[in-house]
Structure 1
């Protein structure tokens, strides 16, 4: 079923975002419509990451709960904050040892504005549930260590086994997988994640062709819009494909801390599940 078209685009964006991260993370806590926390790999230190996203809605009392979770864990933490909320949270995060990191851009494409597909008979595009090939370009493109990549692949495999609406695409040329991405569907809205191309295969239009194929598949599933979160480096490509900006996110990061005494230290999985 499609979401009500009267819903604003940022709200739809956050809905697809939450669906994707909840599907691919070990634990998820929805503090409110604005603040969501995700634990990537429960009890798999050092690969577990507390990942918090602050959206465009009212933060309310959930801010206090979010800060309690942050203060109660020694885990590596990334907080991704909507541009309008940054100034209200910057000082307290700095006091807690966070540093500003990258800026990313939330974008949307109306499927009716799809760029005509690029045709190249020398490439093969596949939709697969066998994720070894899908993972290889991601590991290379994002400089992921082998064990971290294996954990990330396992998270996606668990999501597929759970019946989540994730679709994994690969593009191959000359017998080698060159590019891959993930399409997710939530209430009739599409989202792209994990767009990666081998470093030595960039500049050949592979990502463009793969994204166009995924967008056509989304249309076949009834999607009228597609959302994504773009890095600064990815913006030119997505603009060429007619994605438009919704808002920016600012990330803040804090590395893992030395373990404190048990007094006052929370059981993070229990908090996220509460």
Structure 2
């Protein structure tokens, strides 16, 4: 990809990113074109989190206010930073007791070029508003505590009730929901999130079948591209589906600060 084309795709990616997190988080603050902060919940509860994402757009002095917010925030914080901005922020975050966490890879697929592979029979794929079923594989796949699963499900339920463009898919085998994901649409672009499969059902191609169904749905709704943010271990799966790398993110985390 040429540099200007990559830049434009990064901008489109950040639109889908901000749309998804703003839809599923209680509070949202936009500091600049590339810096957004989200509070998972409105109250100081165990699963609340300040979530800050720093994109590729020039930030100038825009990080001053987020850093002030970080300094006065007691709850857990996660900062996700575009690869080009890591060097400039690593030292200041380390000085604020942050630790490096996982790297993720932002990827894109041109939907006009997507050719689904032949799917195996014996599965049922559903577009559902039953988030009880949708949440089961996520809790298992990501080792979430039961109360955290309930809270995450409630966040998505509020997004549905607010008519956000989120679509929840499940894949069932012999009546048992084994895989699920979320598809979101924003200004002609699609995004995949929450791709999870029950641990005991992994390695059978179910996630691939579910992703392909979601991509076909996105194309049918007129989406041009689909974006996602993949963990290191999931990158080979998405490459096989035709996704290409745009850039990497580096995460930094700081645990909640104990109140004296």
TM class by shorter-chain length? over 0.9
Gaps of 5+ in 2: none
Runs ≥4 in structure 1, deviation > 6 angstroms? none
Counterpart contact for 2:6–2:246, Cα < 8 Å: no
Q: Is 1:216 aligned with 2:216?
A: yes
> Offset at 1:6?
11
The number of equivalent residue pairs is 256
Mapping for residues 184-195 of structure 1, pairs under 5 Å: 184-195=184-195
**Counterpart for residue 253 of structure 2:** 253
Alignment of 1:162-173 (within 5 A): 162-173=162-173
Aligned to 1:139: 139
Aligned equivalent of 1:264: none
Structure 1 residue runs of 5 or longer lacking an equivalent are 261-274
Alpha-carbon distance in structure 1 between the residues aligned to 2:257 and 2:125:
43
3-state SS of paired residue (1:11): helix
Q: How does 1:66-81 map to 2 (within 5 A)?
A: 66-81=66-81
Whether contact under 8 Å (2:34, 2:58) holds in the other structure is yes
Deviation (angstroms), 1:259: 2.2
TM-score using structure 1 length: 0.91
Which position in structure 1 is the counterpart of 2:45? 45
Task: Report what 1:269 is aligned to.
Answer: none
SS at structure 2 position matched to 1:233: helix
Question: Aligned-pair distance for 1:59?
Answer: 1.1
Matching residue of 2:90: 90
Distance 2:44 2:171 in 1: 31
Change (3 A) 1:101 1:198: same
Deviation at 1:258, TM superposition (A): 1.3
- Which aligned pairs between 1:1-274 and structure 2 lie closer than 5 A? 8-259=8-259
| In structure 2, C-alpha distance between the alignment counterparts of 1:150 and 1:192, rounded to whole Å | 21
The answer to whether the 8 Å contact 2:44/2:75 transfers is no
Deviates further, 216-225 or 111-120:
111-120
**Partner SS, residue 80 of structure 1:** strand
Distance (Å, rounded) in 1 between the aligned partners of 2:154 and 2:225: 28
RMSD: 1.3
